[in-house]
Amino acid sequence: MTPLSHPAPRLWITTLVLLAMLGVDSAWAVPMMDDPKGFRDVPWGSALASRQDVEPIRSSAHIVEYVPKADPLSFADTHMTSILYLSVDDQFARVTIRYQGSDTHKQVLNFLETRFGRLDRIPGQMARGLTQQYTWRGSDTEINLTYQAGTERGYIFFDSRTLAPRFNDDITDSAD
């Protein structure tokens, strides 16, 4: 009996495929219109430590998290739970935004589609799922939106396509 002809592995693979189909919408990358090349006029690679409008809240050997000092926690003309700016080796590389609520999610999704490009909705594709993921990819920036319908929590990541992969390097280095 080969490993895949045994019922247990086939059942496991089938279960994983079904869970993936039920729980997560496709994460298709949409080509981005008008790449911002940063966030809120702060270009990727900038030294956040020298800026007066953000303050550090957490740091490690390579990564520092900053919060805006006076900037309200707003994005897409609505209130966000948190907005964090992250630098890796003192170069601005990522923004992480968290929000709560289905109405806020609809407003955020509409803003992102209007500003960065309409999502390609394939006929028959699930429009709502337990977890929805959307990606816009530009030459310098990638935006990832994840929304968990069960908890009504949303997460947006604005990433520098060249600097953000260095976060993975830091995780790998610190795991040794």
The pLDDT of residue 18 is above 50: no
The pLDDT of residue 92 is above 50: yes
pTM metric for this prediction: 0.77
How high is the pLDDT of residue 129? 65
The pLDDT of residue 3 is above 80: no
* Extents of the domains making up the chain: 25-175
Which residues lie closer than 8 Å to 84 by C-beta, 6 or more apart? 57, 65, 66, 67, 95, 96, 97
d(Cα 171, Cα 175) in Å, to the nearest integer?
A: 6
160 confidence band (pLDDT: 50, 70, 90): very high
How high is the pLDDT of residue 159? 97
d(Cα 149, Cα 152) in Å, to the nearest integer?
A: 5
The pLDDT of residue 26 is above 80: no
Strand 78-79, strand 131-137: pairing: unpaired
